[in-house]
Structure 1
Amino acid sequence: MAIDKISKDRQKEAEQMQNVLLLLNHLVENEETTLKLIIGCLYDVGAVNLINQKVTGERQNRVARTLAGMSKPAAKVLALRWFKKNCPTLIVNWLQSKVSLRPDPDPEPVPSVAEVVSSDNSEAALLQKSAIPRSQVREIKQLRSQIKILSGLLLCTMTALGGTAVWQVYQVSLESSTAKPELQPVTTSPNEQIQ
């Protein structure tokens, strides 16, 4: 009888979490404009921080910021697509872990994001500073390597888009400066032909 009640509770929990997922998907679809604004703000902050961290020269920094501004629409589209595809499920899983009230197998204190990000990359240092389990340390290191790869791809994309834009502007200005004025055909009126 107790096992039957537990299985019914689990089934009810699964149904409710499926409802939460559907509601989150609905929210994402209805609040697309809000999501675009949030993504735009995050892109602005992240791009400036990444450029300030990676590009040291003042002139190169300005150019990189200009290129980042040019690539913002494409990044927003890709980020919105990723968000719609992945975030409702991630949020549901996180919420379910919070409401399950199951005892944590690893009740060690969880460090803040700032502590984890600011610490150095070595596994031993992460384990000493924050008492993070080894599996989470590996996950953090994988995420850091993915961030580095994505940062490099973003920088390459911004450079390529910026270079393309500069090339197009150069081509247009070159064509307009070397364009020959077209000669207008001379038309004569019937009165002028008689004379």
Structure 2
Amino acid sequence: MTAPTGNDYVVRAIRPADWEKVKQLRLDALRDPIAHLAFLETYDNAAAQPDSFWQDRAVGSGEGSTTALQFIAEAPDGTWAGSVTVLMEEAGTQDWAGYPVERRQGHAVGVFVRPEHRGNGLVQALFEAGTAWAWEQRAERVRLFVHEENARAQAAYRKLGFEPSGRVVSFTKDEAENELEFVLEPPA
């Protein structure tokens, strides 16, 4: 059997009934060796959340939402292989970190692909779904933040067409821990 390619996965928005799988995929992501560079949340904090938290998360970023949508990729064997969530941010507001939002934009967060599914085009399939949804929501751009030491993720995002904006922020009290903003403009 050959390894699946990005086209062999079913990429779709999560549904409220998926909350247990949403929880499991997030906990698995937070166990990844580079989770400390990729996520602002810890495994212990996420694991301590009650089921109602995960149920609310699946409703709030599930099918039909116009403010946030989590896309998952289901492998041919039924395994959830990865996900990306796109949050819509409105011009004139502040983002979740307290920074001003200058234009209507999608903000990609929670990007994760299981190690055994990496390098086959899956991240591209996830981002195609996520950015297509953002453009449908009239986003003027899509952005994401990536840790300055996460070279693998930076390379993947560049391959998808994202470029550094020049904005550098710190989400921790340790100013040495910087995140780089990458942006993608809508297709012409």
- For normalisation by structure 2, the TM-score amounts to 0.24
Structure 1 or 2: larger strand share? Answer: 2
TM-score, scaled relative to structure 1: 0.23
**The structure with more radius of gyration:** 1
By percentage of residues, which structure has more helix?
1
